[in-house]
Amino acid sequence: MQLKKYQNQKGLTLVEILVSFAIFGLISVSLISIFTATVNTQTIILQHQAIMNEANFAIDYMGRAIRLARIDDSSGANGACTGTLNTNYSDTTSPNNSQITFLSYDPVVGDYRCRKFAFSADKIYEYKSSTVSAAYFPAQGTEITSGQVKVVSLNFVAQNILRDSGQSMVTINIDMIPTGRQITPIPEIKAQTTLSQRNLNTE
- Per residue in 82-93, pLDDT (tens digit) is 887 778 888 655
Dihedral sign computed on CA atoms, order 94, 97, 99, 100: positive
- Evaluate whether residue 6 is within a structural domain: no
**Distances from the Cα of 106 to the Cαs of 51, 68, 128, 163, 171, in angstroms?**
29, 11, 9, 22, 23
- Evaluate whether residue 69 is within a structural domain: yes
- Evaluate whether residue 15 is within a structural domain: no
Its domain, for residue 147, covers: 40-196
Contact 130, 76 (CB under 8 A): no
Per-residue pLDDT reduced to its tens digit, 61-79: 999 889 888 888 765 545 6
- Evaluate whether residue 10 is within a structural domain: no
- Closest Cα partner for 148 from 120, 183, 122, 185? 122
- Evaluate whether residue 18 is within a structural domain: no
Which residues, 6+ apart, have CB-to-CB distance to 64 below 8 Å?
A: none
CB < 8 Å & 24+ apart, contacts of 132-141: 132/72, 132/74, 132/80, 132/81, 132/103, 133/74, 133/80, 133/81, 134/80, 134/81, 134/82, 134/83, 134/101, 135/80, 141/116
- Closest Cα partner for 70 from 168, 180, 190, 188? 168
- Closest Cα partner for 145 from 64, 68, 66, 59? 59
**The pLDDT of residue 58 is above 90:** yes
Q: What is the DSSP letter of 1?
A: -
Per-residue pLDDT reduced to its tens digit, 5-46: 555 556 668 777 788 888 888 888 888 878 777 777 777 788
Round the average pLDDT of the chain to a whole number and report it.
81
Mean pLDDT to the nearest integer, 95-121 = 86
- Evaluate whether residue 156 is within a structural domain: yes
CA 89 vs. chain centroid, Å, equals 22
- Evaluate whether residue 27 is within a structural domain: no
Domain count, the chain: 1
- Evaluate whether residue 33 is within a structural domain: no
